[in-house]
Structure formats: structure tokens, C-alpha cells
A and B are shown apart, each in its own frame.
Chain A
Amino acid sequence: MKIAICLRRVPDTTAKIAIGPSGVAIDEAGVKFVPNPYDEYALEAGIALKEAAGAGETVVVSFGGDNVQETMRTALAMGVDRAVHLQGTPSADGLANARVLADHLRDGGYDLILFGKVAVDDYGQQTGAMVAELLGRPCATAITSLVIEGGTAKVTREVEGGVESAQCSLPAVFTCDKGLNTPRLPGLKGIMSAKKKPLDVVPTVAGAAQVTVVSLALPPERAAGRIVGEGAAAVPALIAALTNDAKVL
């Protein structure tokens, strides 16, 4: 089983966001960057599937500037076999970025291509399904379970008011949601061996973007609230505020 996991480098979810001088991107000064949390479910799924199969290869692929190499080392430390850095500049156009990934993955002989369901920076939620469409492969997004038997994959995904079940043949593309698994933490041995694992750099150029970022702004601040009181004795004051001021009861 040959498995590709596509990885994004994103600001840590605890990071405070400030707008950079361009007015269309964040100020990266002092911001810690981490592997996209949802991509960690994809990494865990890929590593575990290869372990269970007892044979095959896992490859982490990331499109971006040179700083994605550090992020991919974390994936290698978790247990991925090798890394491919598609060196270039992603744009705000998810489809242009997806084309870069699809062009690289098309002839790679991958049985599975895995993504996180969403990157917690731009929340585009589109790259995985676009890559699948561009490659003409079956795809399920935001999966919370994955079972592979023979050449068939069975998945579930949460939809409003229920859990949808689906199946398809391999090769296939899936995007992974929380609940799929519990990602392993890299151990010391993994971190040491990650330094020696192959990391290939492939220069790439994305096509023209059809998307322009007009602006990036902080959301309006909430007006200051008030403490209505202390302990259970404050409940009548809260009920009054919810009834008369907020009118939500």
C-alpha cells in the first residue's frame, strides 16, 4: 500500500492573530507554526494503515516555501517514510494549488491520498476534493472512520443529523476529521531518525490564480459585558438581563 499524506503548515491554534502591513495576510512575527491539526489525523491513518499492511510506503507531500520542510520533519518523526517538498508559492486560489498537488500525485502510484478535512488558517476545505476530481478518483471528505478490505474502502462521515456511510474502490482520496484516530506523538527515536529520512525538493510553479485577496481584517470587538453577580444569588439578575436586555428568553 502506497500512501501520500498532504500536509499544510499553519499557525498554532493558540496563536493570537494580527494583520500584517499588506492588509491581506497575517503578521507572522512571533507566531508559532505547526502541522495542521487535521492533517495529523491523515498522518496517523496513513502510518497505521502501512503498519497494518506490513508493506508499502508513506510519503508526506507539502506545497509551499522552504519552511514547510521543518513541518514535514514532524511527520517523518511520527513515522512517515519520506517527504516531498513541492517548492513554490501557494496562492489564495485553492484550485491552482490543488492542480500543483494533483500534477505531482497523478503518476505516483498511490493507493491512497490523504488530507486533513480543513486547514485551520484559511479554512478553504477544498484542496482534497479538488485533487480527487482532477485525478478522477473516488473521494470522501471529513471521514471519521476508514476500513480497507481487499481493494475496497468503507468510510463514515458526519452529516447534519446523522452519520453517512459510503464505499469506493482504491485508489482513492480521503480528507480526515477529528474522531478518525488519535495521532501519535513523535518519540525521541522518531525525531532522531527523521533527520536522516529522504526529503526531496521539487521546484513547482502554480498556474494563474483566479482568486484575489481583497482584504484581511480583525472581526469587530464585542462590547464589554458585565458581571451580574456572584453565586446562585445572581441567577434572578441574569434571568432579568436575558429577558429584558438581550431578549433571548
Chain B
Amino acid sequence: MADILCVIEQRGGAIRKGANELLTAARQLADQSGGRVDALVCGDGAVTGVDALGAAGADRVLTASHAAFGHYAPEAIVATVQSLAGQYGAVLVAATATGKDLAPRLAAAIGAPCGMDVTAVSAAGDAIRVVRPVYAGKAIQTLDLAGTAVVAVRPGAYPAVASAKAGAVESLAVPAFTPRLTVTGIAAPEKATLDVAEARVVIAGGRGLGEPQHFGLLEELAAAFGGEAAVGASRAVVDAGWIEHGAQVGQTGKTVAPELYIAVGVSGAIQHLAGMRTARTIVAINRDKDAPIFKVADFGIVGDLFEVVPALTAAIKVAKGQ
């Protein structure tokens, strides 16, 4: 096995963030057996950031250029990877929305097992061993994947480590493919808000807010963190239509692992805890001192959120020098 292929994501002719994390995972896996890391970049013409992939751990950078790559073009990427896959022990992608769409297609096309959303990947004899959260993080599964494996690595699992490699760029022909799905564009969301899955700080609201408009209090607290905080929510309030479903944290929503998670008026149902228990620091603000959320919180304040949150917002502004 030994050699690893990383499929690097680009959008609009620029490498997406997360490429260096993926190369770090690939580098560690390849170094276990003295293998090579190749990065594949599929673009419509030149892609910004290709030159930096060597410094992140790529021995070679393969660039495949085709007009279809102006948008995500799954069939074209699958055909390109399929033409190379026999040379590699594993194919790695980032477990982003696009990567999670691509990984199973690649696996089916090359007849490989697929490890989805993994937090650790290593070699175990001839197999690729992956560790991944299941049951929304209520349990951790370890799998051995035989043969060439397709592995989608969860963003944030591998902090990027610089590893100066040659990163020699070689161009690659895109083999013939039959387009079946045509991506027509990406629209920016109506409100330019940070995704809860990507934010350093998440402020989550639950039924304790009482009414949908009280999410405004959380937005003010999020704003005090100066663009690094997102507002999340429990399932109860998403299902009640108080906030869009993209904000939901938990087993039927997003799994988040921010540096700071502040749960406001969230009781802490088991399916919510599953989605946020790996946050580095958890703060709970709740009127009910017996709420389950306090069992996972590092720091808790028992009290009326309508008094505590504005005071906290003011204090964060001071701490942040606003």
C-alpha cells in the first residue's frame, strides 16, 4: 500500500480551507510505511493555492483541468480518480458537504470500502484503520478497511502541520466521462452567518428562550465575539420553526466541536448532548439547576437567561476590548 492520494477541494478556482489538514492526515498515514502523498486538484484552469500544497505535505501535485470543473462535477472527478486509483493504498477526501458526496461515489466506482467522517486514520497491517463517531458521538467505532480504501476525514480532526515536501506540479489528462448531474451554481445564504459546524464559538439556544424573537439576545452575544461565533439551536426550537434547521446541533442536526459552546436555555436532551459533547469548553446558562446540560458543562450559571445573557454580552465586549 503506502502511497496516498488526496482529492483536494477547490471552489471558484481557489483551494478550499481544510486542504492542509487533509494533507496532514495523509502525510502521517503515508509516513507509517514510507509512502508518497499525491494531491489531486481538479479545476477549470489554474487554481490558486496549488503551489502551497508541497509545504503542507504533498510530494506531488496532480492538476486536472477541464471546463466541467467550474462547478463540482462528480462524474468527472470519479473518472479522474478511477484512472489513478490502482496506484494508491488509500484515497482521502475532506468530509465536507462535497467530500461526503464524493467519497461514496469514488468507493463504489473503484470497488473500495468507504470510511466516512473519520477522526483518525492509520495503517493496521494491510488494512486502513479508521476511528469515527457513530450514534452522533454517543459511541466511537473503529473499523479496518481492506484493499484500497476511500476515507473522508472530518474537518478539524487533524490540525494542519507544515511538512515541507517537493509538491512538484504535474498536469493530468481528464479521462472520458459521462456527466449525469449538472451543478448550476452556488448561492450565498440570505444572511451571511457563520456555520455552526465551522465557528470557533457556538451560542446555542433552546426552549428556555420562550419565544423565537429572543434569539436576538444570542445574536448580540455572538456579535460580541467579533465574527468568530455562530448561533445554534436545539431540535425543539428548530422543529417549532423558531430558527432555520441549519442551526440545529445534535443527533439529527450538526455535530460541532468548537472551542467554546455556550448553551442558553437548553435543557440538554441526550440527542443534543451527542452533537456538542466534544466542544473544548462548555458553558450552560439555565434556570433549572437540575437540567442535564449542567452534567456536561465545565462552567454553569443557574439563573434567568434574560438577566444573565445581556450581562455576559456586556462582559465579553469588555474582555474583547470593544
Contact = CB atoms under 8 A, between A and B. Distances in A.
Interface in A204-237: 210-219, 222-232, 234-236
Given A37-B252, A238-B299, A249-B319, A166 B184 contact: yes
B98 A232 contact: no
B100 A214 contact: no
Interface string A117-142: 00011111111111111101111111
A159 B280 CA distance: 25
B72 to A, nearest CB: 7
Given A129-B101, A212-B144, A17 B135 contact: yes
B315 A239 contact: yes
A42 to B, nearest CB: 14
A133 B189 CA distance: 30
B252 A13 contact: yes
Contacts of A37: 252
B183 A164 contact: yes
B243 to A, nearest CB: 12
B139 interface: yes
Given A163-B186, A231-B303, A236-B315, A214 B143 contact: yes
Contacts of A165: 183-187
Nearest to B244: A179
A230 to B, nearest CB: 5
Contact of A130 (B104, B144, B253, B307): B104
A95 interface: yes
Interface string B268-288: 011100000110111100000
Interface stretch (B41-49, B112-120, B163-171): B112-120
Given A14-B271, A178-B253, A215-B142, A164 B72 contact: yes
A149 interface: no
Give chain B's interface secondary structure class.
mixed
B298 A159 contact: no
Interface string B225-257: 000000000000000000011101011110000
A163 B188 CA distance: 6
A163 B189 contact: yes
A225 B291 CA distance: 13
Nearest to A175: B101
Chain B contact-residue range equals 35 or more
Q: Which of A11, A124, A164 has the most CB of B within 10 A?
A: A164
Given A159-B98, A235-B312, A228 B245 contact: no
Interface stretch (A50-58, A80-88, A240-248): A240-248
Contact of A129 (B108, B111, B141, B300): B108
A161 B195 contact: yes
A1 interface: no
Contacts of B111: 95
Contact of A125 (B104, B113, B252, B259): B104
B96 interface: yes
Given A167-B182, A232-B308, A241 B142 contact: no
B191 interface: no
B58 interface: no
A63 interface: no
A132 B312 contact: no
B260 A246 contact: yes
Interface of A: 11, 13-17, 19, 26, 37-38, 92-95, 98, 120-134, 136-142, 157-168, 178-179, 210-219, 222-232, 234-236, 238-239, 241-243, 245-246, 248-249
Interface of B: 16, 72, 74, 78, 96-98, 100-101, 103-105, 107-109, 111-114, 116-117, 127, 129, 132-147, 180-189, 195, 197-198, 201, 244-246, 248, 250-253, 259-260, 269-271, 277-278, 280-283, 289, 294-304, 307-308, 310-312, 315-316, 319-320
25 contacts: A93-B113, A95-B108, A95-B113, A95-B114, A125-B100, A125-B104, A125-B116, A130-B107, A133-B78, A138-B180, A163-B186, A163-B189, A164-B183, A166-B181, A179-B245, A210-B113, A211-B144, A219-B137, A222-B298, A225-B299, A227-B302, A230-B301, A246-B260, A248-B201, A248-B259
Q: Which 9 A-B residue pairs are closest in the complex by CB-CB distance?
A: A126-B104, A133-B108, A138-B180, A231-B303, A232-B311, A129-B104, A130-B108, A214-B142, A159-B97
